[in-house]
A and B are shown apart, each in its own frame.
Chain A
Amino acid sequence: MAWDNQSGGTAWNEQPGWQAWNWWNKAAWEQQPWDAVAELASAGNAVDQLSPEQLEVARNLSPAEVAVLNSVKWRIDSASQAAAEGDWSQQAAAQSGQSGQSSESWGWRNAPGWAAWDKWNKAAWEQQSWDAVAALRAAGAPVDQFTPEQLSAARNLSPAEVAVLNSIKWRIDWAGGEVEGHSWNGLGII
């Protein structure tokens, strides 16, 4: 499986922070059987809408890919929910137990390896002008149907996150049928 990086690696997984991230996921991998589809479903992704061919693609997603996708979905969904229920930053502060607007202490960012991963993304962010929404749109994600709150959350996605999302979408779409209905579930990726 592509996830088991025995072939010497690629530029992507040789990036700073990846080794620690990789180690953490490998440890988790060895402790319990990995079920990408179940993980996706538990996060609310509409996997039941996938064709058998697309499900096979989903089954082969790595833990890191699923973690990124579910994390992004959670943030987008939270933005949408906040728009309906109140101020997002207040909810985030309440959830993190802090009064500030920083999201650094949220649970998924405390995962081992995340700090280095995040640092690498921040460095990339600072080096160039980055438009996450444009990158998602170019890959065919229906960002034009996002609410303003969801768009705001999408703009904060890092280049690495968008690269993972677009890669997954490309593989899922490639495995799709010749004709497709035009409903949109979750992030429009899974």
Chain B
Amino acid sequence: MDLASSSSASPVAVTAGRLRLKPGLQSAPRWAAPRWPPTVSAGSWPDQVSADWAYGGADGAGVRVCVLDTGVDGDHPIVGGVQAAMQVTADAAGELRVVPGEATDLAGHGTACAGVIRTVAPGCWLASVQVLTKGTQGMGDVLLAGLRWAVDEGYDVINLSLSTTKLALRNELAGLCDSAYFRHCVVCASAHNAPVLSFPWRFASVVSVASITPPRADGAAPVQHYYNPKPPVEFFAPGVGVRVAWRNGTMIKATGNSFATPYIAGLCALIMSKHPELTPFEVKTLLYHTAANVKRVAAVNGDDNDR
């Protein structure tokens, strides 16, 4: 895919792995402006937080989302193009570098994740970093390099539908996730499908997601997410038997926490699009307040049926 043409709708262009303003653009987009010190004030939240207040009317515009996965097929109609496609390669000295690559997918997994994000937040700025290979697997060093790049580039949301069981990677992964957190970047990480100890989804600095069976597809029930009062998995989203984009422009029915995570990442993009001043802590709080199984005390007592 031609990245130059695919990024025409974006206010930025990619050059050697760095972002710069396109010629003729007078000012940086909202997400590119410094966010420090934070502009949110203690009194800016409403008395009652609702889904409509959190992300109603938002489409993710102005929010930069990065998918670290098997790559993303930018030509897939569900994805609708990616604004940056990067890959991790080793230079002559053996040092790993993140460089521009083709918007292609080695397995389909990354395209599926990007498709979910684009469906939830169609207006977001979407980037792909290829850290997994054909077998939906990869090396720890490559993941660390890709994640470090995404954090350094200041992405607003990072989707990680993956994890590692290697304890040797734990500390460095935790450090990167903490860095993202303090740079106001929300990292959405998929829980392992099996009950094993893996990372980074178990870190408190990320939003951890597992999957549930989606509501009926006939519109009888809206797509919702749920809060889990028994962490480390914090949220549940549709990820069982869901139709997702796949390689070569196809769609498949798939299951896995991988596909629930981008749903939450998309929601985060919507929230940050409408409230760009919010921190990851506040975004996670909004996810909690807008979860289908979290009710206001008044509603529980029967005084108010509205959340």
Contacts and interface: CB of A to CB of B under 8 A. Distances in A.
B139 A183 contact: no
B216 to A, nearest CB: 13
Interface string B115-156: 000000000000000011111111110110000000000000
Interface string A51-89: 110100000000000000000000000000000000000
B191 A182 contact: yes
B195 A180 contact: no
Contacts, number: 98
Contacts of B69: 181
B135 A179 contact: no
Interface stretch (A1-9, A121-129, A139-147): A139-147
B240 interface: yes
A181 B164 contact: no
B162 A182 contact: yes
Interface string A104-141: 00000000000000000000000000000000010011
Interface in B236-259: 240, 254-259
A33 interface: no
A178 B140 contact: yes
B161 A179 contact: no
Interface residues of B, number: 40
A145 B255 contact: yes
Interface string B45-62: 000000000000000000
Contact of A145 (B70, B139, B169, B193): B193
B132 A179 contact: yes
A188 B194 CA distance: 10
A137 B193 CA distance: 10
B161 A182 contact: yes
B164 A183 contact: no
Nearest to A80: B241
B230 interface: no
Given A145-B211, A179-B140, A181-B109, A54 B259 contact: no
Interface string A31-59: 00000000000000000111110100000
B163 A51 contact: no
Nearest to A183: B256
B64 interface: no
A54 B255 CA distance: 21
A140 to B, nearest CB: 4
Interface in B253-286: 254-259, 261
Contacts of A145: 193, 211, 240, 255-256
B137 A182 contact: no
Nearest to A55: B135
A177 B161 contact: no
A177 B139 contact: yes
Given A51-B134, A145-B255, A178 B169 contact: yes
Nearest to B169: A178
Contacts of A181: 69-70, 107, 109, 132, 136-137, 161-162, 256, 258
A55 to B, nearest CB: 8
A178 B135 contact: no
Contacts of A180: 132, 136-138, 162-164
A182 B109 CA distance: 9
Contacts of B143: 178-179
Nearest to B144: A179
A23 interface: no
B226 to A, nearest CB: 15
A183 B194 contact: no
Contacts of B169: 178
29 contacts: A49-B135, A51-B133, A137-B195, A140-B196, A142-B193, A145-B255, A145-B256, A177-B132, A179-B131, A179-B162, A179-B164, A180-B132, A180-B138, A180-B162, A181-B69, A181-B70, A181-B161, A182-B161, A182-B163, A182-B190, A182-B193, A182-B256, A183-B109, A183-B112, A183-B161, A183-B255, A183-B259, A184-B193, A185-B254
Q: Which 3 pairs between the two chains have the least Cβ-Cβ distance?
A: A177-B137, A51-B135, A140-B194
Given A140-B195, A179-B143, A180-B162, 16 more contacts: A48-B134, A145-B211, A177-B133, A177-B137, A178-B137, A179-B131, A179-B139, A180-B132, A181-B137, A181-B256, A182-B192, A182-B256, A182-B258, A183-B109, A184-B193, A188-B194
